[in-house]
Amino acid sequence: MSDQNTDVDGPEPDAHPEGAARTEGAAHTRRSGLSRRGMLGLAGAAVGAGVVGFGAGAAVGHAVGSSPTGATYPFYGANQAGIVTPAQDRLHFAAFDVAAGLDRDGLIELLRDWTVAAARMTQGRPAGKYGPASGPSDAPPDDTGEALDLPPGGLTLTFGFGPTLFTAADGTDRFGIAARRPEALVDLPRFPGDALIDSLTGGDLCVQACSEDPQVAVHAIRNLSRIAFGRAAIRWSQLGFGRTSSTSRSQTTPRNLFGFKDGTANIKAEDSTVVDDQVWAAASDGATWMHGGSYLVARKIRMTIETWDRQQLGEQERIIGRDKGEGAPLSGGTEFTEPNFLALSAGGGTKIDPDSHVRLAHPTMNDGAQLLRRGYNFVDGNDDLGRLNAGLFFIAFQRDPRKQFIPIQARLAKNDALNEYLKHVGSAIFAVPPGARDGSYVGAGLFA
What part of residues 223-242 is at the interface with a second copy (CB under 8 A)?
225-226, 229, 233-239, 241-242
The interface with a second copy within residues 190-209 (CB under 8 A) comprises 199
Total interface residues for a second copy by CB under 8 A: 97
The interface with a second copy within residues 55-94 (CB under 8 A) comprises 63, 66-69, 71, 86, 89-90, 92, 94
What is the smallest separation between the CB atom of 109 and a second copy, expressed in angstroms? 19
Interatomic CA distance for residues 50 and 43, integer angstroms: 10
Interatomic CA distance for residues 443 and 165, integer angstroms: 12
Q: Is 346 in the site for a second copy (CB under 8 A)?
A: no
The interface with a second copy within residues 388-407 (CB under 8 A) comprises 388, 390
CA-nearest of 247, 249, 229 to 81 is 247
Q: Is 251 in the site for a second copy (CB under 8 A)?
A: yes
- In the complex with a second copy, the residue whose CB is nearer, 134 or 440, is 134
What is the smallest separation between the CB atom of 29 and a second copy, expressed in angstroms? 4
Interatomic CA distance for residues 174 and 281, integer angstroms: 25
CA-nearest of 263, 306, 303, 252 to 397 is 263
The answer to whether the beta carbons of residues 265 and 362 sit under 8 Å apart is yes
Among 250, 334, 345, 364, binds a second copy (CB under 8 A): 250
Write the CB contacts of 26 (distance below 8 Å, at least 6 apart in sequence). Answer: none
The interface with a second copy within residues 116-135 (CB under 8 A) comprises 132-135
Q: How far from chain centre, in Å, is Cα 87?
A: 8
Q: Is 340 in the site for a second copy (CB under 8 A)?
A: no
What is the smallest separation between the CB atom of 379 and a second copy, expressed in angstroms? 5
Is residue 275 classed as helix, strand or coil in its secondary structure? helix
Interatomic CA distance for residues 430 and 376, integer angstroms: 18
The interface with a second copy within residues 13-42 (CB under 8 A) comprises 15-16, 23-31
Is residue 302 classed as helix, strand or coil in its secondary structure? strand
Among 258, 289, 295, 397, binds a second copy (CB under 8 A): 258
CA distances from 109 to 33, 93, 114, 127, 303 (A): 35, 22, 8, 16, 40
Q: Is 252 in the site for a second copy (CB under 8 A)?
A: yes
The answer to whether the beta carbons of residues 102 and 110 sit under 8 Å apart is yes
* Piece of the chain touching a second copy by CB under 8 A; list 157-165, 222-230, 398-406, 437-445: 222-230
* Piece of the chain touching a second copy by CB under 8 A; list 41-49, 273-281, 286-294, 318-326: 318-326
Write the CB contacts of 35 (distance below 8 Å, at least 6 apart in sequence). Answer: 20, 21, 22, 23, 124, 148, 149, 150, 151
* Piece of the chain touching a second copy by CB under 8 A; list 42-50, 158-166, 313-321, 402-410: 313-321
Q: Is 259 in the site for a second copy (CB under 8 A)?
A: yes
Q: Is 169 in the site for a second copy (CB under 8 A)?
A: no
Q: Is 211 in the site for a second copy (CB under 8 A)?
A: no
Among 154, 293, 321, 443, binds a second copy (CB under 8 A): 154
The interface with a second copy within residues 277-306 (CB under 8 A) comprises 305-306
- In the complex with a second copy, the residue whose CB is nearer, 256 or 294, is 256
What is the smallest separation between the CB atom of 195 and a second copy, expressed in angstroms? 18
CA distances from 302 to 80, 232, 310, 420 (A): 29, 28, 17, 11
379: left (phi over 0), alpha (psi -120 to 50) or beta: beta
Q: Is 146 in the site for a second copy (CB under 8 A)?
A: yes
Binding mask 88-107 for a second copy (x = CB under 8 A): -xx-x-x-xx----------
